[in-house]
Structure 1
Amino acid sequence: MIAIVVSRADSASERIGDHLLDLADWEVREDDSRPDAEGGGTFYRLDRETSVESSDAAASDDGRFELREFEALHLEIEDAAAAFDAPDLLVFASRHSGDTGPLLTAHFTGNFGPAEYGGVAGELAEACPNAHARLLDAFEKHAPESYEVGMECTHHGPSAVGVPSLFAELGSDEEQWDDPEGARAVARAILDLAGVEPHRDRQVVGFGGGHYVPRFERIERETDWAVGHVAADWVLDAMGAPEANRDVLRRAFEASRAERAVVDGDAPELKRVVEELGYRVVGETWVRETTGVPLAQVERLEDDLSGVEDGLRFGDRTPESAAGAADSATATEGDAESAPEYEVVDLPDDLLVEVQGIDPEATREAVAANMLAFETEQNGTRAAGRAAVRAPDDREALVDALADLLRVKYDSVAREDGAVVARATTFDPEKARTLGVPEGPAFGKLSAGQSVTVGGEEIAPETVQSERVRRFDP
């Protein structure tokens, strides 16, 4: 069940709440066990079988909602889940304040450092990265034309909610807080969370960057990884030295259910401490390249070949793609059984160099189509070194594919005694000089296959040609 907190101290929250109630047929209930100011009194229930105007999201076995109103501002409400009937996820419908214009935004709560705006210093509420990713998609779907969609770092209370939670916000000033279209968009997006799981198997903690976190938003929107707590640069400054705040950093991973972190910027001490705590620091490239690949397979291939950050790239992907896995709570985590057996082979580097000079894009496609994974150089742009294949025939298939690409440049290409032999008939400048052809335009014509006249004698292009033979031993 998804709990929704509406604050009477927040006009935008009240408007979002009004639209939530307007969008579906809620059941009105009474709770005399709690004060009205703390979520008691009149509250509202909605189950997933009820017709909801805004939601076309696939529901799981539990698509129920419960909406309760509180007197205090959201960031001052601790243990909000206690007011609800065993929720799995809690959403604070809230305003966003800033100089950012019309904006729909979402973030998690708690404090890496001092508790200046609610919560407890150094304490973090449990995040819900998978639900956050769904909410951003829903914001994008429902946002009025003038609104941007964004993601913020963790920057205020509450620090204890009782279940995974997030803020769904309408911003950024009075004009938007009073905007019925903006409020309705947030309400529809919240209802689109019906049936969502709070977590997925692939989640990271974010460190660095500004208050608004485009790098982490890209990761969440464009890969099958979701992002938990994010400590922006100013948040890290407020926290203090990583070495002295190991417990806070550990809590960020625990509250995000993550084993990996992405760091935006250069933070050697932070990275060291994170690694010493038993977590792994990875880059955005690693996150993108591992999308769709079982992590058990990634780990084995990085052990047997090189690391993704050192140029390892993956070929044929598992059936799950980034698009298909992005909203899954079990997105391609993989285990030993899901990772195929393979053997490590050397790539045909000389052949690759020649073919990459002819058609680099087609060369990359041929390698990716036949290799399970492969090493690269030049910032991941050129395949070179070693690769993993599921069967020896895969390497032979790659050689054949590369040989086919040679035909763009060579007159004939054949396999001879295991080697790839390419032949091309080309203009031979030395033969032309021997026949008295002056360098310049005459050379150009002969090279283009046109006859020239020198000293009254016609010289045909074939008389100044030689056969060039290249042999590639793959």
Structure 2
Amino acid sequence: MVKVALLYWREDPAGRGISVAIRDLLNEYGELSGKVSLVELGKNPLTITQDDVDSLGINIDSHIVVLSKHSSESGRPSLTVHPAGNPGNDAALGGSPRRLSYSTPLLMKLLLSMLFKKVSGSDITGFYVGLEATHHGPTDLDNPLCFIEIGSTPEMWVRVDLHRLVGEAVMGALNDFLSISEQSCVVVASFGENHYPARLTRRVIESNICVSHIIARYALKNLDEGIVQQALTKSVPPASMVFIEKNSVSRASENVILAKAKELGIKIEYY
């Protein structure tokens, strides 16, 4: 039986606040009893290891969703979902360099769709609601994992209305995810666009695709076949298609992507 572990760091006001909202909602989702666990972490989730996950009693088959704050220099209000990993040499925010985490494409799609639904039915405006590129740790877990985040300032992290909205989105998405008997979306690895890929977000919302990893254009300078291989294979299930954003992928990067996709027999689409 597939299970989902919801992790939050006790020192993260956004993650902790979302967890409070979810705990209040769990009674409304009795059918998820035994399938969803809410786990408090004593350390930053960006730095957790497989030993940490094992010590928490999380099954190897469980999918993990990290409830988290999001920070940015711009302070842009945001509600985001993203896979984890370091496609470049920088691992300052946890994990290992040049290593991607396993991701959970269908669950990310459902979380994103439910965020859109909840925001559109609320009076919350001025937020970017969407995907983020693959970034930061943890990178070395065997469990498929994603982050759902409130950003991007301390004022946003403590807003109870945002905690409730994200909590409702998480529970709605989990209710759908845990009732689906088989994969129902086409898994795509995406290359290009910026850190907040608005066009890709629309594709995920409006069609039957979901994403394994999103390698933003700023990370393409580090691209090699190893990163492409991970983007295509480190998700549950693995990718069966590649998206290339034609305006932001250089010919050199494109050739690396095409070579690996051809080797694995994976279809390419430009957008």
> TM-score, normalization: structure 1?
0.49
Looking at structure 2, the residues matched to 270 and 47 of structure 1 have their Cα atoms a distance apart, in angstroms, of 48
Equivalent residue in structure 1 for 2:67, among 76, 89, 93: 93
Contact map agreement 1:81 1:90 (CA 8 A) in 2: no
Which amino acid letter does the alignment assign opposite residue 72 of structure 1?
K
Partner of 1:133: 109
Which amino acid letter does the alignment assign opposite residue 134 of structure 2?
T
* CA pair 6-74 structure 1, distance change in 2 beyond 3 A: same
Which amino acid letter does the alignment assign opposite residue 25 of structure 1?
N
* CA pair 119-47 structure 1, distance change in 2 beyond 3 A: farther
Equivalent residue in structure 2 for 1:153, among 133, 140, 144: 133
Contact map agreement 1:47 1:65 (CA 8 A) in 2: no
1:124 matches 2:105: no
Contact map agreement 2:6 2:39 (CA 8 A) in 1: yes
How far is the alpha carbon of 1:223 from its aligned partner? 1.3
Offset from partner CA, 1:408-428 (integer Å, 9 cap, x none): xxxxxxxxxxxxxxxxxxxxx
How far is the alpha carbon of 1:47 from its aligned partner? 5.2
How far is the alpha carbon of 1:48 from its aligned partner? 2.0
How far is the alpha carbon of 1:135 from its aligned partner? 0.5
1:64 matches 2:35: yes
Indicate the SS of the match to 2:96. coil
Indicate the SS of the match to 1:150. strand
Contact map agreement 2:190 2:211 (CA 8 A) in 1: yes
Indicate the SS of the match to 2:257. helix
Contact map agreement 1:262 1:283 (CA 8 A) in 2: yes
Q: What pairs up with 1:179-258 in 2 under 5 angstroms?
A: 179-192=159-172, 193-196=174-177, 200-237=184-221, 240=222, 242=223, 245-256=224-235, 257-258=238-239
Which amino acid letter does the alignment assign opposite residue 47 of structure 2?
E
Equivalent residue in structure 2 for 1:113, among 77, 82, 88: 88
Indicate the SS of the match to 1:182. helix
Offset from partner CA, 1:401-448 (integer Å, 9 cap, x none): xxxxxxxxxxxxxxxxxxxxxxxxxxxxxxxxxxxxxxxxxxxxxxxx
Which amino acid letter does the alignment assign opposite residue 2 of structure 1?
V
Partner of 1:17: 19
Large movers: runs of 4+ above 4 Å? 197-201
1:169 matches 2:152: no
How far is the alpha carbon of 1:200 from its aligned partner? 4.2
Offset from partner CA, 1:366-414 (integer Å, 9 cap, x none): xxxxxxxxxxxxxxxxxxxxxxxxxxxxxxxxxxxxxxxxxxxxxxxxx
Larger relative contact order, structure 1 or 2 (CA cutoff 8 Å, min sep 6): 2
Partner of 1:330: none
Contact map agreement 2:106 2:185 (CA 8 A) in 1: no
1:283 matches 2:270: yes
Indicate the SS of the match to 2:233. helix
Larger radius of gyration between Structure 1 and Structure 2? 1
Unaligned runs of 5+ in 2: none
Partner of 2:57: 84
What is the count of residue pairs matched by the alignment? 248
Looking at structure 2, the residues matched to 200 and 158 of structure 1 have their Cα atoms a distance apart, in angstroms, of 27
Offset from partner CA, 1:57-77 (integer Å, 9 cap, x none): xxxxxx721011111111111
Contact map agreement 1:108 1:166 (CA 8 A) in 2: yes
How far is the alpha carbon of 1:235 from its aligned partner? 1.7
Looking at structure 2, the residues matched to 130 and 150 of structure 1 have their Cα atoms a distance apart, in angstroms, of 15
Indicate the SS of the match to 1:12. helix
Partner of 1:48: 31
* CA pair 218-201 structure 1, distance change in 2 beyond 3 A: closer
Equivalent residue in structure 2 for 1:74, among 26, 36, 45: 45
* CA pair 17-78 structure 1, distance change in 2 beyond 3 A: same
Looking at structure 2, the residues matched to 248 and 185 of structure 1 have their Cα atoms a distance apart, in angstroms, of 35
How far is the alpha carbon of 1:101 from its aligned partner? 3.1
Which amino acid letter does the alignment assign opposite residue 111 of structure 2?
L
How far is the alpha carbon of 1:136 from its aligned partner? 0.9
Looking at structure 2, the residues matched to 48 and 120 of structure 1 have their Cα atoms a distance apart, in angstroms, of 37
Which amino acid letter does the alignment assign opposite residue 86 of structure 2?
N
* CA pair 13-49 structure 1, distance change in 2 beyond 3 A: closer
Contact map agreement 1:129 1:200 (CA 8 A) in 2: no
Which amino acid letter does the alignment assign opposite residue 216 of structure 1?
L
Contact map agreement 1:200 1:226 (CA 8 A) in 2: no
Indicate the SS of the match to 2:101. coil
Indicate the SS of the match to 1:191. helix
How far is the alpha carbon of 1:24 from its aligned partner? 2.4
* CA pair 210-248 structure 1, distance change in 2 beyond 3 A: same
Indicate the SS of the match to 1:25. helix
How far is the alpha carbon of 1:182 from its aligned partner? 0.3
Looking at structure 1, the residues matched to 164 and 256 of structure 2 have their Cα atoms a distance apart, in angstroms, of 44
Contact map agreement 1:6 1:94 (CA 8 A) in 2: yes
Which amino acid letter does the alignment assign opposite residue 68 of structure 1?
V
Looking at structure 2, the residues matched to 8 and 184 of structure 1 have their Cα atoms a distance apart, in angstroms, of 17
Indicate the SS of the match to 2:175. coil
Partner of 1:333: none
1:263 matches 2:265: no
Identity of aligned residues (%): 27
Looking at structure 1, the residues matched to 254 and 163 of structure 2 have their Cα atoms a distance apart, in angstroms, of 40
Q: What pairs up with 1:381-460 in 2 under 5 angstroms?
A: none
